[in-house]
Structure 1
Amino acid sequence: MSHGFDYDLVIIGAGVGGHGAALHAVSCGLKTAIVEMAEMGGTCVNRGCIPSKALLAASGRVRELRNAHHLKALGIQVEQVSFEREAIADHANNLVSKIRGDMTNSLKRLSVDVIYGRGKLAGNQKVAIATPEGEKVVTAQDIILSPGSVPFVPPGIELDGKTVFTSDDGLKLDWLPSWVAIVGSGYIGLEFSDIYTALGSEITLIEALDQLMPGFDPDIAKLAQRVLITPRDIETKVGLLAKKVTPGSPVVIELADAKTKEVVEVLEVDACLVATGRIPATQDLGLESVGIEPDRRGFISVNDQMAVLSEGQPLPHLWAIGDSTGKMMLAHAASAQGVIAVENICGRSREVDYRSIPAAAFTHPEISFVGLTEPAAKELGKAEGFEVGTVRSYFKGNSKAIAEGETDGLAKVIYRQDTGEVLGAHILGFHASDLIQEAANAIAKRQSVHDLAFLVHTHPTLSEVLDEAYKRAIATH
């Protein structure tokens, strides 16, 4: 360090994105500090992906063991299955504590300075940190903003954290309501409906848009409704807005027509989970001190190198990553952005390839996707002058899926008709979250179905579902 700053790099926010950036920065020889006002690991580790996966794992086992028909087909009989709600909640808490501890220790081991307090910009290359001991100011050659996000609660919905709550409180599993309304049918809503129905609750799923799972590929959304919703204790309300939600016993929900905003129905339920997405935590970040303003939704504008933009131009030495950028609100996307930001700080020009970043919902069975949906691919094809091809292969024809008794599902591959380049892949089925990585890697390398169809897959494995799709793609030419 010959530049006279306290640090080469200061990162505000120690979520998965900030943590990943810090690890990469140290490996690149940068003297690094990370500022965190709450817990190490941010939303993902403490209130998101990690505890939710623990609850999904436990509740999924309960669902599996109570499925007498499925077990009987495998020659297994289980007399009675019971569970302890508190023990399941403890499993999630213990996992959070372990991973949070591992993250803290990894930073200490690499001599990253961890400063606990609220960090904000105090001008160019300066960070002011409000700590319990008072405010301190540190300087850095480069600064990465990684403040994360918080649950979005629409107007008219009142939270009490007990009967009306977001995923933050739902993950504590303080109690098991008999009847839960879930507002929103995205990842969070689907995963919680999976947890609650496995443990015996009834669900009413409320979606303001005119179809369930609006962000998913239409074929996947259609199959998910047949596999994950219809056979379970889930009632659906589509095209309806939760206009007013009042906590209590019971919780009172006024449902309005999403178009006219007129109340058409009143529900009384035991609890209501609000799963209407997330908004960036960019307030009080000192952005005005460097002359930048977030967009109307609160997101920080960045380019694909992760440099913060002011009036379309990159600001020197200031970067932003993760949910605050609004690009892809996923923990692994934040981590990838952190690595890219550090690479550019070190003078190695790199950009984030968002098309190759996969996503998953850890329902039973799982849903995963990478790249474009079929409608988005067709839109691109129209703009760029190419035809889009799609192929589907099914788990019911896969030997491993048959052996496991897990034959619900499909893999759908979307590609260019002219070059065969894979544009997207969507999977619903057993271990879909693991299977999608192969397609993500193919998209990252802009590979063609003509090459992928000749790769050899282990038999019998679930990976052959994608192999079959690639082979069907070249057979259609």
Structure 2
Amino acid sequence: MSQGYDYDLVIIGAGVGGHGAALHAVSCGLKTAIIEAADMGGTCVNRGCIPSKALLAASGRVRELRNAHHLKSLGIQIGSVEFDRQAIANHANNLVSKIQGDLTNSLKRLGVDIIRGWGKIAGMQKVSITTGDGGEKTITAKDIILSPGSIPFVPPGIEIDGKTVFTSDQGVKLESLPEWVAIIGSGYIGLEFSDIYSALGCEITLIEALDQLMPGFDRDIAKLAERVLITPRDIETKVGIYAKKVIPGSPVVIELADFKTKEDVDVIEVDACLVATGRIPATKNLGLESVGVELDRRNFIPVDDRMAVRSAGEVVPHLWAIGDANGKIMLAHAASAQGIIAVENIVGRERIVDYRSIPAAAFTHPEVSYVGLTETAAKELGQAEGFEIATSRSYFKGNSKALAENEADGIAKVIYRKDTGEVLGVHIFGLHASDMIHEASAAIANRQSVQSLAHLVHAHPTLSEVLDEAYKRAIAI
């Protein structure tokens, strides 16, 4: 252990990022403590990835079993399908409890000290901790990692009551199934909740302020996803419209306005409203001012590629920040990767995060996944660096396994450099897209070309052959 300090490493925040950093720190021989004021596991385990996937799994089964046309095409006929909302909610809650317990026990088993309370910087290499009973103590550490996570963003004019107007934090509890629910935002969170609610019989109005649905996704993927995930379902869409004002109650009153002109366009009354307008960093009250660190204009903690905190362009010694709080890429697995990278640099092994190879997914039915650049971003990079890009596509309707499952809605799109063939981005919409994307993620991490990938052998018949076909089409162009 470092001489003169209570710990080699203190981590503030026990979410997925802090947990990953702690596990790696122990493997590197560092005496480690982790501080958490709220729930062990942070957003991902308690209010995000884990409970939402449990809800999606259950509601997805309901959707599948109620799709009489699809089942009949496979030679299957069943009677009416019933579900218990509370039992589905319990499935999510029980999973949260299990994962939270597993995470906590893994830290204890490895000798990580878990300190309950609010941790904040109290000077260079010092952390003060305020406990629930108002007590306070200060500990020292050679290095400190900040991993405070994020909270839902609620736009001005929207009032949250947690019951009739709520964010994903309350939505994952599935305390009710409103007959008519408005969802504000068509990103990952909005899409997944529209999938859950529509499968369980709710009518939905999806409100998107920007001029197209699924604005963060590649356009080819978004077009097909809209045709499959939104159009045939009981989902009304309002695009280029924003919720100027949302008033909780029964009913919930939503005043809608044109996003560009700000002119009022409509007032709707619904049973509930889910606000899915993204997340913002939880970076208040961390004591950063005690070491001269200022947040950037969006309240993220400025860091370099090594995860070292920066102040006025200079590195702050022995202070690191990972996960949603630094704004690099707001995904749970990215936070975990950043935690490992920070520890690697703490122990003197220079490493940086390869953000282009970090995949993302929306766990709708079917799923959406991607890694790397969109076609638009790739074109911009090509113009800046002087190369042309090309794309190739393949479709699930030509895949034997997809046809056997009678799940042929889907597409894989590969974006690559014309000159070298290097893969810049891969986007998949279709059955098990979130599992399939990792082959592409590894290819991008290793800067592989479509020429080399086209000669890999995939098991037949598997969905992975959709990607195989896309690579082969690329070299045939």
Task: Calculate the TM-score normalised by the size of structure 1.
Answer: 0.99
Q: Where does 1:388-467 land on structure 2 (aligned, <5 Å)?
A: 388-467=389-468
Query: What are the Cα deviations for residues 356-394 of structure 1, in whole angstroms up to 9, with x where unaligned?
Result: 000000000000000000000000000101110100000
Residue identity opposite 2:285 in structure 1: D
Structure 1 spans left out of the alignment, 5+ residues:
none
Q: Report runs of 4+ in structure 1 exceeding 6 Å deviation.
A: none
Write the distance in 2 (CA, Å) between the matches of 1:201 and 1:335: 35
Q: Secondary structure at the match of 1:30?
A: coil
Matched with 2:311 is 310
Write the distance in 2 (CA, Å) between the matches of 1:140 and 1:456: 50
Query: What are the Cα deviations for residues 69-105 of structure 1, in whole angstroms up to 9, with x where unaligned?
Result: 0000100001110000000000000000000000000
CA gap of 1:2–1:236, structure 2 versus 1, over 3 A, is closer
Write the distance in 1 (CA, Å) between the matches of 2:322 and 2:130: 22
Write the distance in 1 (CA, Å) between the matches of 2:390 and 2:225: 22
Q: Does 1:25 align with 2:25?
A: yes
Matched with 1:294 is 295
Q: Does 1:364 align with 2:359?
A: no
Write the distance in 1 (CA, Å) between the matches of 2:225 and 2:14: 35
Query: What are the Cα deviations for residues 229-282 of structure 1, in whole angstroms up to 9, with x where unaligned?
Result: 000000000001100000011100000110121211001100000000000000
Write the distance in 2 (CA, Å) between the matches of 1:301 and 1:138: 24
Q: Where does 1:211-230 land on structure 2 (aligned, <5 Å)?
A: 211-230=212-231
Query: What are the Cα deviations for residues 12-58 of structure 1, in whole angstroms up to 9, with x where unaligned?
Result: 00000000000000000000000000011000000000000000000
**1:345 Cα deviation from its structure 2 partner:** 0.1
Matched with 2:256 is 255
Matched with 2:88 is 88
Matched with 2:374 is 373
Q: Does 1:283 align with 2:284?
A: yes
Q: Is the 8 A contact 2:16 2:41 kept in 1?
A: yes
Q: Secondary structure at the match of 2:55?
A: helix
Residue identity opposite 1:4 in structure 2: G
Matched with 2:61 is 61
Matched with 2:72 is 72
**1:132 Cα deviation from its structure 2 partner:** 3.0
Write the distance in 1 (CA, Å) between the matches of 2:465 and 2:316: 47
Q: Secondary structure at the match of 2:444?
A: helix
Query: How many aligned positions are there?
Result: 476
Write the distance in 1 (CA, Å) between the matches of 2:2 and 2:200: 59
Residue identity opposite 1:41 in structure 2: G
Structure 2 spans left out of the alignment, 5+ residues:
none
Q: Does 1:7 align with 2:2?
A: no
Q: Is the 8 A contact 2:2 2:142 kept in 1?
A: no
Query: What are the Cα deviations for residues 131-172 of structure 1, in whole angstroms up to 9, with x where unaligned?
Result: 135101010000000000000000100011110000000111
RMSD: 0.6
Matched with 2:125 is 125
Q: Where does 1:304-343 land on structure 2 (aligned, <5 Å)?
A: 304-343=305-344
Q: Where does 1:172-187 land on structure 2 (aligned, <5 Å)?
A: 172-187=173-188
Matched with 2:145 is 144
Residue identity opposite 2:444 in structure 1: I
Q: Secondary structure at the match of 2:296?
A: coil
Q: Secondary structure at the match of 1:173?
A: coil
**1:313 Cα deviation from its structure 2 partner:** 1.7
Query: What are the Cα deviations for residues 180-238 of structure 1, in whole angstroms up to 9, with x where unaligned?
Result: 00000000000000000000001100000111111000101111110100000000000
Residue identity opposite 1:206 in structure 2: I
**1:2 Cα deviation from its structure 2 partner:** 3.9
**1:415 Cα deviation from its structure 2 partner:** 0.3
Percent of aligned positions that are identical: 81
Task: Calculate the TM-score normalised by the size of structure 2.
Answer: 0.99
Matched with 2:353 is 352
Query: What are the Cα deviations for residues 278-301 of structure 1, in whole angstroms up to 9, with x where unaligned?
Result: 000000000100001111211011
Q: Secondary structure at the match of 2:340?
A: helix
Write the distance in 1 (CA, Å) between the matches of 2:98 and 2:372: 33
Residue identity opposite 1:17 in structure 2: G
Residue identity opposite 1:463 in structure 2: S
**1:314 Cα deviation from its structure 2 partner:** 1.4
